[in-house]
Amino acid sequence: MKESCLHDDNGAVDSNSGIKLPTFAESADDKTRGYNSEGYYKEELSLDADIKKASKESRLIPVKFYTMTNGNRIEITVITWGATIVSLKFPDKYGRIADVVLGFDDLENYMNPSINPFIGCILGRCANRIRNGYFTIKGKPYQLTTNDVNKHHLHGGTKGFGRRLWESHIDGCSVVMSYLSEDGEEGYPGAVLTTVRFSLTSDNKLEINIRATTTNSTIVNISHGSLFNLAGHDAGKKELLRHRVSLNCDRWTFADYTDPIPTGDIRGVGGTIMDLRVPKFLESCIEKVPPGEGYDHNFCVTPSWHGGSGYVAQAVHPRSGRVLEIYSNQPGVQFYTSGRLSSRTKVSPVTPIIEAIYAY
């Protein structure tokens, strides 16, 4: 199913992030498939849409699947349930294709919160945790749902943005999705209209642009939660340890190891296991992170001198030659190596992840 092009220009709060993937030389096979010198398929980005229905609470929910492809054989599929990236395929240095994001093999599992902890979806209205689900605005208290060990508020609550059906359309070479969060949803004040634009470029950039407007003073901290394993989604712990990771971060938000809530103490990374400014193989550091479950920490991104989106992080898997680079205009990055992840996903429970860009 092809969708007509529509346009939308709403928004007051902007969050822009980009993922840069490696470029590979054009092959004879590419030419026979119709890739042109610009890197697009059949003279434009190939963007297809399909509709599938999933059963949830005795109802059939129509979920749209969009697939974007460029001339370098990179293919990304995103669905309207949670605005979720369910597949990201690209070749290694030998030309072999692999899906490098964590996910599920069927739609119903994406809709099952007991086994899907916000994998690959939009995180909101507030990404990461709010202590005890409680905050005040202008002296007025608000109590949110507490869906993290029945104590804290996590990723927007029990039915956050990642567990909602989004509206969608194709705009040029982009997929645009939107969701209206009503006043009082999950305990938040004010209504929030969020628009997310997914774009795949000919030079292997996946751009995720997020814009939001609100009718009242509220918390807006929207992010995206794709989880990456550059060796392939099913490569397991052995290949996890062979990833080399670096973060453009001089500081991190300290949290008590018995409770993942930041204390408000911003600490320098120098001389600690949190110092990833120089690339390190995960096998040299991951098991040294207290309390032995790997990284699940928020780091403060060193600001870009020119403003706008700047370099945040890089992950390299030397054996495959795949490289992931993260750029964003947001001041924080959550580095998570999935030590607490369920094994009921389509990948090993221990997977290298640069999870999301957060605003703090």
Sheet holding 97-99, edge to edge: 46-56, 59-69, 75-79, 84-91, 97-99
The model's pTM is: 0.83
Residue-by-residue DSSP string for 163-201: GSBPEEEEETTEEEEEEEEPTTGGG-SS-EEEEEEEEE-
Q: Is residue 3 part of a domain?
A: no
Q: Note whether 180 and 304 are same-domain residues.
A: no
Domain end call among 225, 250, 270: 225
Q: Note whether 93 and 180 are same-domain residues.
A: yes
- pLDDT of 125 reads 98
- pLDDT of 51 reads 75
Q: Note whether 191 and 257 are same-domain residues.
A: no
- pLDDT of 342 reads 63
Q: Note whether 177 and 125 are same-domain residues.
A: yes
Give the three-class secondary structure for 238. Answer: helix
Q: Is residue 7 part of a domain?
A: no
Q: Is residue 178 part of a domain?
A: yes
Q: Note whether 250 and 203 are same-domain residues.
A: no
Q: Is residue 142 part of a domain?
A: yes
Domain end call among 225, 247, 270: 225
Model confidence pLDDT, tens digit, residues 177-235: 999 999 999 999 999 999 999 999 999 999 999 999 999 999 999 999 999 999 998 88
Q: Note whether 90 and 141 are same-domain residues.
A: yes
- pLDDT of 3 reads 30
Give the three-class secondary structure for 316. Answer: strand
How many domains, the chain? 2
CA pair distance 112, 284, nearest whole angstrom: 35
By the 8 A CB rule, do 220 and 15 touch? no
CA pair distance 289, 197, nearest whole angstrom: 35
Peptide bond into 291 cis (omega under 30): yes
Give the three-class secondary structure for 30. Answer: helix
What b-and-e string marks burial along 296-326, b requiring 16 or more CB atoms within 10 Å of the CB?
bbbbbbbeeeeeebbbbbbbbbeebebbbbb
CA pair distance 109, 158, nearest whole angstrom: 16
Q: Is residue 45 part of a domain?
A: no
Give the three-class secondary structure for 151. Answer: coil
Q: Note whether 282 and 245 are same-domain residues.
A: yes
Q: What's the average pLDDT block by block, 10 residues per block, for the chain (360 residues)?
A: 29 64 42 33 58 66 93 96 97 97 90 91 97 97 94 96 97 96 98 98 96 97 94 88 96 87 94 97 92 90 85 97 96 90 49 35
Q: Is residue 192 part of a domain?
A: yes
By the 8 A CB rule, do 199 and 174 touch? yes
**CATH of residue 118:** 2.70.98.10
Q: Note whether 79 and 174 are same-domain residues.
A: yes
Q: Which residue range(s) make up the domain with 137?
A: 61-225
- pLDDT of 43 reads 29
Model confidence pLDDT, tens digit, residues 157-185: 999 999 999 999 999 989 999 999 999 99
CA pair distance 145, 136, nearest whole angstrom: 15
Q: Note whether 108 and 255 are same-domain residues.
A: no
CA pair distance 27, 166, nearest whole angstrom: 38
CA pair distance 72, 239, nearest whole angstrom: 24
Q: Note whether 133 and 266 are same-domain residues.
A: no
Domain end call among 225, 246, 279: 225
Place of tokens 């042109």: 36
Q: Is residue 53 part of a domain?
A: no
| 4, burial (CB in 10 Å: exposed 0-12, middle 13-18, buried 19+) | exposed
Question: If we measure between CA atoms, which residue out of 49, 109, 43, 50 comes closest to residue 82?
Answer: 109
Q: Note whether 255 and 216 are same-domain residues.
A: no
